[in-house]
Amino acid sequence: MIWLALPITILLFFAFRWVHQRLPLPIFNPVLLAIISLMALLMFSATPYQTYARGAQLLTWLLEPAVVALAIPLYQQSQQIKAQLIPLLLACCAGVLTSLIVVLLVTHLLGADISVIASLAPQAVTTPIAMNVTAGIGGIPALSAVVVILVGILGASFALPILKIFKVNQPEAQGLAMGAAAHALGTAKAIEVSRLHGAYSSVSLILCAVLTALLTPLIFSLYLLIIN
Amino acid sequence: MNFLIVRDAIILLLCLFAGKLIAHALPFVFPSSIIGMLVLFFCLTTGIFKLHQVETGANILLKYMALLFIPIGVGVMEYLELIGAQWPAIVGAMVIGTFIVLLVVGHMFQRLIK
């Protein structure tokens, strides 16, 4: 059965992509629908996730070279990006700080355990950073990894309609926001929209990774100071 | 065509490998794939590699990048209990956080470059 993992994943992705192209509603995000269908399939057939993951590992393995490939749109827009370095840094800094403060506030008000709060704090950033930051401030890395993926799916599905409704219409600003809110998954979506979106999304993917790693421990200790 | 994709793939993997080496040498944790991206960017800027030497292969990966996240996403099923126990905080932080960050970054950058 293990050999089925890869063809079924690819087949579901393209089938749902076909649906999404005809019914372009955010909820019909092909990644989201493929993940839900595969979960249902695995549970229904009582297949352990590890078995599936081994069968589909080629795709997971290709993720790293795909992130390296993001250098291409970045390079193609590098002149423009260099000229906007300060605004880019300011916007990403504001994004990371907002994300940290909002997440701490919301989870605190909802009465989550401190370990859960620490796990959710770096939710908007790429998985390896989020897991390490979480481990450093006493959270649960596995929970971080899950939430990061969920945030990525949510952001990739709904970012563009939300940005349009709230009048963020420049492709550069849209791309940057997608990378800042939904890391590599947002960037994967941005590159589907246009090369320009993809380039700016790659910029915020990088900047927000660095800024989150630097700022999370600081903001989290401030939070601990305030609540104690 | 086939040969070209092999060359593109080798360049991408070389950059990734360099990223892994650098990540290993760093005193803090940073994703090796992002360092690999910066290595490739540096190589393109300095002319060590030319754009046309990686473009074809890279574009194929970029076009289907979303597909590559599916197996990891399915892994969420292993944590359904944990999510179930903490769902108000998780859903609250996800929805509100993502929404606000999108608008803050988008609007701020749009104003700043005007």
Domain ranges of chain A: 1-69, 70-228
Task: Give the pLDDT mean for A181-207.
Answer: 95
The answer to whether residue A39 scores a pLDDT higher than 90 is yes
Percent of chain A with pLDDT over 70: 100
The answer to whether the beta carbons of residues B78 and A134 sit under 8 Å apart is: no
Q: What is the pLDDT of residue B23?
A: 92
Q: What is the pLDDT of residue B37?
A: 94
Least CB–CB distance from A110: residue in B62, B79, B89: B89
CA distance to partner chain A, nearest, from residue B2 (Å) = 18
Chain B residues within an 8 Å CB radius of A84: 112-113
HSE-CB for A167 with a 13 A CA cutoff: 2
The answer to whether the beta carbons of residues A49 and A167 sit under 8 Å apart is: no
pLDDT tens for each residue of B18-72: 999 999 999 887 889 999 999 999 999 999 999 999 999 999 999 999 999 999 9
Q: d(Cα A104, Cα A153) in Å, to the nearest integer?
A: 21
Confidence grade of residue A154 (pLDDT, cut at 50, 70, 90): very high
Chain A residues within an 8 Å CB radius of B108: 90-91, 94-95
Reference A150, options B28, B86, B103; nearest CA is B86
Residue B30 CB partners (closer than 8 Å, separation 6+)? A128, A129, A209, A210, A213, B23
Task: Give the pLDDT mean for A152-180.
Answer: 96
Q: Whose structure tokens read 């305030």?
A: A226
Rounded to the nearest integer, the mean pLDDT of chain A is 93
How many Cβ atoms are within 10 Å of A63's Cβ, its own excluded? 20
Task: Give the pLDDT mean for A9-26.
Answer: 94
Confidence grade of residue B1 (pLDDT, cut at 50, 70, 90): low
Comparing A38-42, A134-138, B109-113, the range with the smallest average pLDDT is A134-138
Q: How far is CA A194 from CA A149, A172, A176, A201, B57, in A?
A: 22, 10, 12, 11, 18
Q: d(Cα A114, Cα A137) in Å, to the nearest integer?
A: 10
Confidence grade of residue B2 (pLDDT, cut at 50, 70, 90): low
Q: Which of residues 72-131 of A touch B (CB under 8 A)?
A: 72-76, 78, 84, 86-88, 90-92, 94-95, 98-99, 102-103, 106-107, 110-113, 116-117, 120, 123-124, 126-129
Q: d(Cα B31, Cα A63) in Å, to the nearest integer?
A: 12
The answer to whether the beta carbons of residues A30 and A18 sit under 8 Å apart is: no
Q: What is the pLDDT of residue A135?
A: 87
pLDDT tens for each residue of A99-114: 999 999 999 999 899 9
Whether B62 sits inside 8 A of A72 (CB atoms) is yes
Amino acid at B77: M
Q: How far is CA A71 from CA A76, A105, B12, B16, B42, in A?
A: 9, 35, 10, 11, 9
Count of H-run helices and E-run strands, chain A: 12, 0
Q: What is the pLDDT of residue A2?
A: 81
3-class SS of residue A29: coil
The answer to whether the beta carbons of residues A140 and A134 sit under 8 Å apart is: yes
pLDDT tens for each residue of B59-107: 999 999 999 999 999 998 998 888 898 899 999 999 999 999 999 999 9
Q: Which runs of consecutive H residues, i.e. helices, occur in B1-114?
A: 2-25, 32-46, 55-63, 70-74, 80-85, 87-112
ipTM of predicted assembly, 2 dp: 0.93
